[in-house]
Amino acid sequence: MAPRSNYRMQKIPEMTIRRLSLYTRCLVQLEEDGKKTISSLALAERFNLNSAQVRKDLAYFGEFGVRGIGYYVSGLKAELQKILNLDREWQVALVGYGNLGSALFRYKGFARQGFRISAIFDGDPAKAGRTVDGVTILPMMDLAREVKARSLQIAIVAVPAESAQAVTDRLVAAGIKGILNFAPSRIKVGKDVRLKNVDLSIELETLSFYLAQATR
């Protein structure tokens, strides 16, 4: 395997990065099943992927296939985890500990991929001071100090729509570089901050489209 160390992130489509996450999950599964090697075709067939797409996506980062063998499962998994920076643990700040915030805090998928919510902030004085699974909910006034003190770079925003922009501005001012926004509102950040809006109803809308088509 010959990973490229000098790939330029600017040229890599975000969908490729999303698929790398998916491939990593597939490889973890194969490793658990005891598979040592797999061809790109077998990988594609087993997980319902497109094998040409798999090869194209991986080619951004290096030459991982071995002629006549395919991919070494553990080796490729480790390389992809390194590329995605999942070979480390990320400490994540969570702002908003309502229904959605508490569900996200307990969402098993984050911890499994190395994301640990280690700081929780909430504007409700009744919540501040409570400790959940070893993490103390802090008041909003502590946000800037704590984010800086812990050098946190990633934050999850799970506050009501109307306070999402104000919360985001405070996070960015405190040094947060990546934001996952669950508030159903459009928020803005500067160019040096990466923002991902998660809109759960878009998924239902695509279902709605296809279901209606089927009955037309």
Binding site for its own copies (CB under 8 A): 9, 14, 17-18, 20-22, 29, 47, 83-86, 90, 92, 99-100, 102-104, 106-110, 112-113, 115, 153-154, 161, 177-180, 184, 186, 192, 194, 196, 198-214
Please say which residue, 132 or 144, places its beta carbon nearer to its own copies: 132
In terms of CB distance, is 68 or 182 closer to its own copies?
182
Residue among 90 and 135 whose Cβ is closer to its own copies: 90
Query: Cβ of residue 104: shortest distance to its own copies, in angstroms?
Result: 7
> Closest CB to its own copies among 59 and 211?
211
Smallest separation (angstroms) from its own copies to the CB of 142: 23
The CA distance from 41 to 177, in Å, is: 37
Tell the smallest beta-carbon distance from residue 63 to its own copies (Å): 20
Nearest to its own copies of 47, 75 (CB atom): 47
Q: 189 with 195: CB under 8 angstroms?
A: yes
DSSP state of 107: -
* CB 144, min distance to its own copies, A: 19
Give the separation between CA 32 and CA 25, rounded to whole angstroms: 11
Q: In this structure, what are the phi and psi dihedrals at residue 119, rounded to the nearest 5 degrees?
A: -145, 130
Pairing of strands 90-95, 115-122: parallel
Nearest in space to 137 (alpha carbons), one of 149, 124, 148, 150: 124
Polymer length of the chain: 216
Beta carbons of 152 and 167 less than 8 angstroms apart: no
Q: How far is the CB of 64 from its own copies (least distance, A)?
A: 17
